[in-house]
Structure 1
Amino acid sequence: MANSGQRNGSVSRIDPETLKADKPIEVVGGQVLALTDGEGGVWVAGTGLGRGDRIEVLQLDPSSSAVEGALVRLDRSGLPVRLAAGGGSVWVAQGGMEPGTLVRLDPKERRRLGAPARLAGAPTGVAVGEGAVWVSSGGRGSLVRAELSR
């Protein structure tokens, strides 16, 4: 298990049996905004290393807690940020500005795949299942389903 939401750019591994947190692992220079696990790692989205105007996504090795490979820098800021991993990709849903966007990342190459998809409103959640990625929007009460085709 992992814990985010700390303003010091760190995450903590939580033992599921004892519910005790290990020493925090510093991962970004700003604030951790979201995290998810899957596709070979724990994925963390946060504000940039000394730059709060960009969102960066990085991968942690779940066994060693080491940062794996390069950061993926997104083209725009846009909060809140939601993450999901599955279907061979890592998905980043961003709001803050109309419209929101859904960005698909290649977890092996650590790069963006294609152009961001525009969303009708600011995303409140993103999940992967049943052969699709799902994005919810609280303001408009919508749920969007996108097929996981490559």
Structure 2
Amino acid sequence: MDVTKAIHLLKEKGFKYTDKRKDMLQVFANELRYISAKDVQETLKPHYPGLSFDTIYRNLSTFSELGILEETELDGEKKFRFKCPTSEHHHHLICLTCGKTKEVAGCPMEQLPVNDSGFTVTGHKFEIYGYCQACSL
């Protein structure tokens, strides 16, 4: 996902274009990691000193619901990043220090016998947490 595609999707779904939304999305375009709503607020504070945490969080939730952002929970806090550009099913390695991610091919769900259990799987999430090379030094 990128800012242009995200704005197009917002308009397509009936949401108004605003400079604040564009700038929020640009924060994610500049990051290759999961970041929190507080991170977004701190980045935008010089340009929008009155921008409330609730407004940011509400927009990030909307972006997530529309498939613009992916979300996860780290240290008890929701964090967000642009949705991966690949349409292939994959999972992520996530650094607990800096929040950077790396795609992992394959899926452990293929090894689980859930199809034989009478349970209908509608989705799943598999994340591996640890420390990237730069943070483990």
> What's the TM-score once normalised by structure 2's chain length?
0.31
> What's the TM-score once normalised by structure 1's chain length?
0.29
Larger strand fraction of residues:
1
Larger radius of gyration: 2
Larger helix fraction of residues:
2
- Which of the pair has the greater relative contact order for Cα pairs under 8 Å at 6+ separation? 2
